[in-house]
């Protein structure tokens, strides 16, 4: 029996903004922090505005998130990014030159077991099954089709990301074994 206790928020989404490969500055995902680059004195763009971005902006600019958005050296925009240029970003209304782009636009939560390859009956991998089914699914939130020896909690098509729910799963999985 395999009971993987891996996190779902571990594989960052790739940058899909056109032109990102041409950017001449530094660019990385917030989950893969580049510790060799100092942000002091740099013009920094944070792409994304979810939980990760809120924590990131607070860390970079010291004051709380909402306070930092009011700072004169911060510009918050909801304009769509049309492309990343050699020197920064181009939105639907402006060009913004930056030295560093930090991506904070999410994770591939459906690929949470990657790069682990788990194959079931017939040699079909779990990720192949989930791709065919348009996402993570499990019978009663625990048992996978063609993978009877694999246990992982899934609710409403999304693997549970919380370490707390993984700890709660141990007794549930134990009961299934009885």
The residues pairing with 139 across neighbouring beta strands, listed in sequence order, are 143
For residue range 101-156, list pLDDT tens digits in order. 999 988 877 666 667 787 877 888 877 877 777 666 655 555 566 766 666 655 44
If one counts the domains in the chain, the total is: 2
pTM of the model: 0.72
The residue with tokens 């492309």 is: 83
Integer Cα distance of 74 and 70 in angstroms: 7
- Quickly list DSSP for 104-151: -S-B-GGGTTTT---B-GGG-BHHHHHHHTTS---BTTTEETTEEEEE
The answer to the question of residue 15 being in a domain is: no
Kindly state the tokens that stand for 120. 């079931």
- In this structure, are 113 and 166 located in the same domain? yes
For residue range 2-47, list pLDDT tens digits in order. 666 666 677 888 899 999 999 999 999 998 999 999 999 999 999 9
Q: Which domain covers residue 157, as residue numbers? A: 109-177
Last residue of a domain, one of 103, 135, 167: 103
């Amino acid at each position: 029996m395999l009971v993987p206790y891996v996190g779902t928020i571990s594989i960052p989404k790739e940058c899909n903004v056109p032109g990102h490969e041409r950017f001449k500055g530094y660019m990385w995902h917030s989950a893969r922090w580049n510790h060799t680059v100092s942000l002091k004195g740099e013009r920094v763009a944070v792409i994304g505005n979810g939980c990760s971005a809120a924590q990131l902006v607070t860390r970079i600019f010291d004051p709380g998130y909402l306070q930092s958005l009011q700072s004169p050296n911060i510009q918050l925009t909801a304009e769509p990014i049309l492309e990343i240029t050699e020197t920064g970003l181009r939105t639907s209304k402006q060009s913004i030159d930056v030295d560093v782009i930090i991506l904070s636009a999410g994770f591939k939560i459906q690929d949470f077991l990657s790069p682990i390859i788990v194959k079931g009956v017939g040699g079909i991998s779990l990720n192949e099954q989930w791709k065919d089914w348009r996402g993570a699914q499990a019978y009663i939130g625990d048992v996978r089709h063609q993978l009877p020896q694999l246990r992982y909690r899934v609710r409403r098509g999304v693997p549970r990301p919380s370490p707390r729910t993984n700890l709660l799963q141990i007794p549930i999985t134990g009961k299934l074994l009885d």
